[in-house]
Copies of this chain bind each other. A is one copy, B any other.
């Protein structure tokens, strides 16, 4: 039997087994594996054991590893001579508050008929239980048709993705040798906004930085000191305001080192997305893109770095008025990075910048938060083109290489700790309400997601 015929058999198997696959997902979704809530620690473990048993039943050599937090699951298919691939997903879910906004209990999953088609409604349906089961079901169908699992697969599932992944990096470091594959397939992203299939090939990096300006050693009365004593809010405002110039460019010296313009191929793909910035902004009550002139909106969000103030506090901001000159003022600032921008250099440039605004009798205190470079995948790897073709065939429309404005730390961790590139393929939709009440996953996303993986596996194996 040729490869093409076998793929067709796998796809048929998936189609015929859809209701069974949904039933399995329902059982998975019934487990309230909320990782951030200690009261649910037992449920998180139950979810890990449920998933591990599924993998064992499929023939994976499966281990549930204890960590200081929630368990890690690793699973391996038999060795062969194929290119080693790692598949990643997470079995923990977000909290469900406020419960009153849910139309049904979040851990009593159901298939609902909606005007937009059938949806799976439950916490975790999209993020990430439904998504990770797309590749598990693809492996199941492969095995049913081939009589054996695809070879040379490493599966990695974590139970802390929704609570900061504290155990992930230590685990990757400890198990680096056994986890290192040629490419990681991360299934935790969405299709493009219009529903077309997409591979995310670049993500912005992130540097988080907190700054506290200290002036007087106590709050002062602005009548007695105003105009004479340093005001830390003003110092902070002036330092932050000067982070961008009139054209929207970040002013830190060397900030743009490593930022590259789009390749012609990506520029073409992105152009074809027909991104409507006005429409995108209008959905959140805005209408005007900010940022550098001459850049498309997608470039601004996916391929250009930015400096953003995420929080600021100082003095009295409650009801009424207090004529205080506060002792301190603080802000949280983050930088989204692209290309090969160096997070530590950006952090240092920001700190140097702030210090230039601080008079000699005041001081700036810095608290470093997370830092990671941008993830830029090497799409000259043939796997990308093969996966893109496979997605195009499955969905009947051209798959796109897209970017992401946010960071998916796991991709950076894989690169940094295992030297491994990632391919981000997911089937979620923008309207899946992940992290919100009434989360859902389209049955179409689930069914065609599994079929997509079958096609990609077939192309790569």
Contact = CB atoms under 8 A, between A and B. Distances in A.
A324 interface: yes
A281 B361 contact: yes
A335 to B, nearest CB: 9
Nearest to A370: B321
A13 interface: no
A309 B224 CA distance: 15
A167 B113 CA distance: 64
Contacts of A204: 223
Nearest to A243: B234
A209 to B, nearest CB: 9
A352 to B, nearest CB: 18
A326 B243 CA distance: 18
Contact of A405 (B206, B224, B285): B224
Given A290-B230, A361-B281, A309 B301 contact: no
A321 B334 contact: yes
A284 B224 CA distance: 12
Contacts of A288: 230, 359-361
A306 interface: yes
Interface in A302-319: 304-306, 308-318
A312 B281 CA distance: 26
Given A309-B231, A316-B310, A223 B325 contact: no
B237 A304 contact: no
A228 B90 CA distance: 30
A220 interface: yes
A79 interface: no
A356 interface: no
Nearest to A299: B227
A238 interface: yes
Contact of A242 (B228, B241, B314): B241
Number of copies of this protein chain within its complex: 2
Contact of A229 (B216, B221, B290): B290
A361 B286 contact: yes
Give chain A's interface residue range (CB within 8 Å of chain B). Answer: 35 or more
A192 to B, nearest CB: 13
B229 A286 contact: yes
A336 interface: yes
A224 B330 contact: no
A241 B230 contact: no
A369 interface: yes
A166 interface: no
A181 B326 CA distance: 40
A429 to B, nearest CB: 14
Nearest to A330: B317
Nearest to A217: B285
Interface string A358-386: 01111000000110000000000000000
A349 interface: no
A82 interface: no
Contacts of A285: 216-218, 361
A150 interface: no
20 contacts: A216-B284, A218-B284, A220-B284, A222-B306, A222-B308, A223-B406, A225-B284, A226-B306, A227-B300, A228-B280, A228-B291, A229-B290, A231-B290, A287-B360, A288-B361, A310-B326, A311-B318, A312-B313, A313-B314, A321-B332
Those 5 A-B pairs whose CB atoms lie nearest each other, nearest first: A223-B406, A217-B285, A227-B306, A311-B315, A313-B317
